[in-house]
Amino acid sequence: MRRSLSAVLIFTAVVSQTPSLHAQDSAPRPGRIAGKVLNAVTGDVVPSAQVTVEGTPIAAITNWAGEYALADVSAGLHTVSVRAIGYSSKFVAAVSVQAGATTLLNVTLGTAAVELEGITVTAEQERGSVSYALNQQRTANQIINTVTSEQIQKSPDSDAGQAIQRVSGVNVQDGKYVFVRGLGERYTTTALNGTRLPSAEPERKVVPLDLFPSGLLEGITTYKTFTPDQPGDFSGAQVNLKTRDFLLGPLLKLSASSGLNDAVTARRGLRAPTVGPEWLGFAGGARDLPPAARDAGTLQGLSQVQLNDIIASFRNAWSARDGRRGANTSFSLSAGGQPRLANRPFEVLGSLTYSYALEGRLDERRAVLGPRQATGSFDVENIYRGATGRTSVLWGGLLNVSARLGATGRVALNNTLTHSGDNEATRLAGFNNAFSETLEFTRLSFIERGVRSHQLTGQHLLAERHTFDWSATWSHVSRREPDRSDLVYQTTIDPTTGESQPYAWYGAPRSATKTFSNIQEDGYEGGINYRHVLGSPARPAALKVGAYAKLTDRDADTRAYDVMNVGGLSDVERAQPAEVIFDGRYAQQGRLFLAASAALGRYSAADRIAAGYAQAELTLSDRWRLIGGARVERARLEVRSKTIELGDTTTILLNTDVLPSLALTWRPWAAHNLRLSVSQTVARPEYRELSPTNYVDIGGQIVFGNLDLRRSLVRNFDLRWEWYPSPGQVVSAAAFAKQFERPIERVLRQTSGESQQSVTFVNARSAENYGVELELRHHLGVLATALTPITLFANTTLMKSDVRVGDGLSSLTNDRRAMVGQAGYVVNAGVTYTSPAGRANATVLYNVVGRRIYEAGIVPYPDSYEEARHLLDASVQLPLTASTAVKLDAKNLLDSAYRLTQASIDRLRYRVGRVFSIGMTWEP
């Protein structure tokens, strides 16, 4: 901890001297003004607009994307004029330009039948990413919400998963899985720069957003309604992560931070042993599946000598370590510019981020329900207590290159790479009712996940009113869990301290298991879109058509092996540490037995989607706008599995769906919108959900798929009123409803011949989801002028759902209940202060998600719930010098316990501690 803080202080001392280097240059350097010009009604870009610095010869014409740049502008205050045929001229006063810097100025133009006297506004009304984002929200074809880089920088959020939970109606489970409007993660899709990302999780359909450091992002947009130019499996929402790419000039930014978790740092706790370069998030080679086991597969036909060799070849790491743990650290570096190649301007941006965090679960408790003879009553069984320690590494990088093709187009190559590694140790001890023994369970796991995306895009202005864009993307996702160790010892519990005192290895099946899991997935995606604009700027219309294709291939392989004592080891030998028992001596003597576990299995998936759409965008009058059309999607999904119990199985889903959409916007007054949207979409099963391969969690719960799953149809209805009283402010109220045909639900089931519950997935008959959303963002200057720098923002979503199981499944689960994952409410609130100069700010954020079903119960077992959890975060950013700032963050200040309950018991409970950090940023 001391070394990390010293490094931050040295970094601050060095970079704080940078301004003195610039002071030696007495001649003030010119600055730049850059941004976009947009249609104030539709949000469309305005090409060929003339942008001028009044009183100077400095001028520019916006390109096909509405972009402009004014160079060599002297430092000081200026007035910028914007003119375009069919629009009212606008004069933006008090535009502040600093020497050597670039000022962002996005301008919206109102339409006019004839040229009128221009209107004048202040730069503060036009500048600022929050104002720009709200303008996008106001003019969008869909109902959207956006979190901008400006908002992220004012929060303690370090990754996309933390940042997006500030959006209205959005909550995040486990810090990474997004739920929108109370729906489970299967109904939310994730895109990177508009292109779909596959999931790296075997049991989850959604992309874990903690993979994306917030420093790489320009913003996160949540689309809550469907239009035909979006993928058809948009059911609840689409989350689009936009990486930084539009450079306003040369960029160099360096940040570093250090911090602590009060539940972990400088305390003794569990640590998992490491191998090689795991501080970079990559598993060491010693964790790899031994070649003998890889070639042996299910072990059938092997001799005892061969089995002995495999046992001896496993990495001999089974026990968690106890020790003190240090501090959290992170850094990021971004650099970019606009070089010229062959006399053609390019934009280049590169960024690298890295974070190392120590995490833990304190006071961890687990239990399950056991039925009594009396109907409707239950006993608490398998009560375990313990803790978890985790080292989490996350790093990411991007390299974006774009070239303008004159004023008529641009080609860009966006490359993004993220990687995480979680090294985790869990130790739990308690009485196991099934075996009538007090046992201690230890799990060591290292999970590394990676996402790599390469996207080539082009946007072209074919003629004055004809635009064409295309994209081709290759993405690769991986998830490896090599050499997971599960160990069970007989133990006693000290009644005074509650400490576990293990005395002998248990030796039965699942008491010493090695698991090796690997998922590799490649996705290829391409799309083309053509848009033809008709009518006048005052009453524009557009026709948009396009085609889309996606090919995804996944290969998942899990190898699990149980090492057992078949009477070969005495009680004295079993009392030795695991690293002695499994160091090879007893294996070579043939005193241990090896068997393939039921979790062993492999599946592959081939997903093929082809689609085409047509969409009309009509401005019916000054107050009415209509977006309508349909998308046709043909999807073929084939999943092939190989398991010990069922052998080879194949599931094929083939569907062709017509997905219509209609959106109507009424603008009764200039600052008000009333939106109505109706559409139909689909929800397809995740590949793993169609495979019968097993997964066993630390509590012994088995997760397996269902070969008979089918895709769901979803009918969506949305109504929202929006009021934008001034730039950067919004008041809105929305109502939504969804009707599901055969929704996919995660349910608990009783496995034949087993005492514990297991988890699978089924199609219910139908379901409904409906609710309301309320949102407010407003500065407090309406109360007193002195309070203008303070902005209050809050959003609340109230939801309800109803599932009708039917189709013979009512004997397995409750026939009428809420949907799995649906919370009754989500509340976000916050207040932020920004200094008049804009460099100092302070923000306090609050979030709570209501109680929601985690797993649907089986009769007679009740449903299990994830309980409400209150989160409070704070962040303060202060300038030190002209180029250096310090940031203080505090997260999870309330340290509310995570609780998963069933009936009156806590099936899972733990705390994660409060996190504090101090960081420095240098940007010359």
Q: Which amino acid would we find at residue 413?
A: L
DSSP-assigned states of every residue in 372-405? -SSTT-EEEEEEEEEEEEEEEEEEEEEEEEEEE-
Rounded to 5 degrees, φ, ψ at 646 are -105, -10
Find, among 126, 161, 162, 132, the residue nearest to 146 by Cα: 132
Residue 566 has pLDDT above 60, yes or no: yes
More confident of the two residues 239 and 174: 239
Check residue 366 and give its pLDDT.
92
How does DSSP classify residue 684?
-
Strands 217-223 and 268-271: unpaired
As a whole number, mean pLDDT of residues 592-599 equals 81
How does DSSP classify residue 202?
S
The percentage of residues in the chain with a pLDDT greater than 90, rounded to a whole number, is 31
DSSP-assigned states of every residue in 736-781? EEEEEES-EEEEEEEPTT-SSEEEEEEE-SEEEEEEEEEEEEEEGG
Band (pLDDT 50/70/90 cuts) for residue 238 is: confident
Check residue 546 and give its pLDDT.
97
Check residue 127 and give its pLDDT.
47
CA count, 13 A, side-chain hemisphere, 249: 19
- From residue 207, alpha-carbon distances to 43, 186, 198, 210 in Å are 29, 10, 6, 9
DSSP-assigned states of every residue in 801-856? EEEE--TTGGGTS-SEEPPTT-BSEEEEEEEEEE-TTSS-EEEEEEEEE--EEEEB
As a whole number, mean pLDDT of residues 65-85 equals 87
The mean of the pLDDT values for the chain is 83
Find, among 461, 628, 484, the residue nearest to 66 by Cα: 461
As a whole number, mean pLDDT of residues 639-658 equals 88
More confident of the two residues 34 and 675: 675
Residue 14 has pLDDT above 50, yes or no: no
Residue 416 has pLDDT above 90, yes or no: no
As a whole number, mean pLDDT of residues 582-594 equals 89
Band (pLDDT 50/70/90 cuts) for residue 713 is: very high
Residue 9 has pLDDT above 50, yes or no: no
Extract the tokens encoding 273: 């042993």
Burial 323-336 (b: 16+ CB within 10 A, else e): eebbbbbbbbbbeb
First to last CA, the chain: 28
Residue 761 has pLDDT above 60, yes or no: yes
How does DSSP classify residue 370?
E
Check residue 793 and give its pLDDT.
87
Nearest-Å Rg of the Cα atoms of the chain is 29
Check residue 882 and give its pLDDT.
78
The percentage of residues in the chain with a pLDDT greater than 70, rounded to a whole number, is 86
More confident of the two residues 785 and 662: 662
Residue 419 has pLDDT above 80, yes or no: yes
Residue 568, Cβ neighbours under 10 Å: how many? 14
pLDDT tens track for 775-793: 998 888 888 888 888 889 8
Check residue 12 and give its pLDDT.
45
Distance separating alpha carbons of residues 784 and 782, to the nearest angstrom: 6
Check residue 129 and give its pLDDT.
59
Check residue 151 and give its pLDDT.
72
Check residue 397 and give its pLDDT.
84
Helix, coil or strand: residue 167: coil
Beta carbons of 377 and 860 less than 8 angstroms apart: no
Q: Can you give 258-271 as a three-state secondary structure string?
A: EEEECCCECCEEEE
Q: Can you give 630-671 as a three-state secondary structure string?
A: EEEEEEEEEEEEEECCCEEEEEEEEEEEEEEEEEEEECCCCC
Residue 658, Cβ neighbours under 10 Å: how many? 10
Distance separating alpha carbons of residues 547 and 535, to the nearest angstrom: 25
Band (pLDDT 50/70/90 cuts) for residue 15 is: very low
Check residue 8 and give its pLDDT.
45
Segment among 185-189, 218-222, 315-319, 616-620 with least mean pLDDT: 185-189
Check residue 373 and give its pLDDT.
53
Check residue 236 and give its pLDDT.
76
Quick one: which H or E segment has residue 573?
A: helix 571-574
Band (pLDDT 50/70/90 cuts) for residue 757 is: low
Residue 248 has pLDDT above 60, yes or no: no
Check residue 24 and give its pLDDT.
42
pLDDT tens track for 154-165: 776 766 766 776
pLDDT tens track for 333-379: 888 887 877 777 788 888 888 989 998 899 999 998 876 655 566 78
The angle subtended at Cα 747 by Cα 746 and Cα 751, nearest 5°, is 130
Extract the tokens encoding 68: 């402009």
As a whole number, mean pLDDT of residues 595-613 equals 87
Q: Which pTM does this prediction carry?
A: 0.81
Strands 119-122 and 90-97: parallel
Distance separating alpha carbons of residues 518 and 856, to the nearest angstrom: 29
Find, among 907, 898, 892, the residue nearest to 361 by Cα: 898
Beta carbons of 828 and 846 less than 8 angstroms apart: yes
Residue 208 has pLDDT above 70, yes or no: no
Find, among 315, 292, 291, 398, the residue nearest to 349 by Cα: 398
Extract the tokens encoding 589: 């003597």
Residue 812 has pLDDT above 70, yes or no: no
Check residue 750 and give its pLDDT.
56
Distance separating alpha carbons of residues 522 and 617, to the nearest angstrom: 35
Band (pLDDT 50/70/90 cuts) for residue 239 is: confident
More confident of the two residues 681 and 376: 681
Burial 1-35 (b: 16+ CB within 10 A, else e): beebeeebeebbeebbebeeeeeeeeeeeebbbbb
- From residue 796, alpha-carbon distances to 144, 152, 167, 184, 791 in Å are 15, 20, 10, 18, 17
pLDDT tens track for 281-333: 899 888 988 887 777 667 777 888 888 888 888 999 999 988 877 889 988 88
Q: Which amino acid would we find at residue 435?
A: F
As a whole number, mean pLDDT of residues 695-708 equals 70
Quick one: which H or E segment has residue 289?
A: none
Residue 442 has pLDDT above 70, yes or no: yes
More confident of the two residues 718 and 924: 718
As a whole number, mean pLDDT of residues 830-858 equals 84
Residue 844 has pLDDT above 80, yes or no: yes
Beta carbons of 865 and 853 less than 8 angstroms apart: yes
As a whole number, mean pLDDT of residues 812-841 equals 80
Check residue 386 and give its pLDDT.
93
